[in-house]
Amino acid sequence: MMHTSSYTILVIEDDAVTRNLFLESLQAESYDTIGAENGRVGIQLAQEYLPDLVICDILMPDIDGYDVLNGLRQDPLTAIIPFIFLTGSDTKDALRKGMELGADDYLTKPLTVEQLLKAIQIRLEKQALLRYWYATQSQPIPANVTVSETSESIFPSVPQLKQVFDYIEANYHQGITLAKVAEAVGYSRAYLTNRVAKQTGETVNGWILKRRMMAARSLLKDTNQTVEQIALALGYQNACHFSRQFRQHHGIPPKHWRKKQQLFNTCTQLEKCLHISQR
């Protein structure tokens, strides 16, 4: 059995009893789970959390399972998420329609928990192979290249503040504050605050945060370091503080941001391969 603790599964099912049964069964196998009571909520949750797999009932009021699948396949970030249909109908027409829309599997109720878990395992293993294939096609960043060397500067070209920005660039990963910057450049905190705000419209701490977040995005995208390791590398005392600031700055947690980047990159690579194969 594959390791499941890092996988998130979205269950879209309007019947509360069935939905809760599946959620509890998946949680018992150490999967992270999200439940949605209808198709509209399911699409929203899929776009927000980017689960590793979606299980969806077909017959639901308002938006049925076909509409959910079609909606997810139209969004590049959710287009390749494995999708398993769950239905009480086993007609060939229903099966064909689901597969034409891009479903990965089709399970007929009633089914056992073991059958559900086996189908999930197979789909996740295939998805893992796909991501491994993509990762092996990508060129890794050389070990002697730092984050700052792979990124353009975010700081504005203000000659009077060059010393300030140079200090932030050299020390942003050490947990520096306004007081440390002011001491390093020989200004009082009040004077430095006013000067930076007047010439850039941003605070000193704001520039420190922007530089840290830029480095965080690069590390999340280009390395396999955990969120905890990245937080430590950027001078945060704990990962919770880092995750909270990242979410405030980007609107989503760092793990979800990384997953979006991975999905986007995989989609782009697949589109290139399809384009080449069609020539």
Query: Domain 148-261 classified CATH 1.10.10.60?
Result: yes
> Does residue 174 or residue 36 have the better pLDDT?
36
The class level of CATH for 8-137 reads: alpha beta
Higher pLDDT, 135 or 80: 80
Q: 3-state SS string over the chain?
A: CCCCCCCEEEEECCCHHHHHHHHHHHHHCCCEEEEECCHHHHHHHHHHHCCCEEEEECCCCCCCHHHHHHHHHHCCCCCCCCEEEEECCCCHHHHHHHHHHCCCEEEECCCCHHHHHHHHHHHHHHHHHHHHHHHHHCCCCCCCCCCHHHCCCCCCCCHHHHHHHHHHHHHHHHCCCHHHHHHHHCCCHHHHHHHHHHHHCCCHHHHHHHHHHHHHHHHHHHCCCCHHHHHHHCCCCCHHHHHHHHHHHHCCCHHHHHHHHHHHHHHHHHHHHHHHHCC
Domains 8-137 and 148-261 in one fold? no
Question: Does pLDDT of 257 surpass 70?
Answer: yes
Q: Is the pLDDT of residue 205 over 90?
A: no
Higher pLDDT, 55 or 96: 55
Average pLDDT over residues 81-93: 79
Q: Quickly state the pLDDT bin for 211 (edges 50, 70, 90).
A: very high
pLDDT band at 271 (very low <50, low <70, confident <90, very high): low
Domain borders along the chain are 8-137, 148-261
pLDDT of residue 139: 39
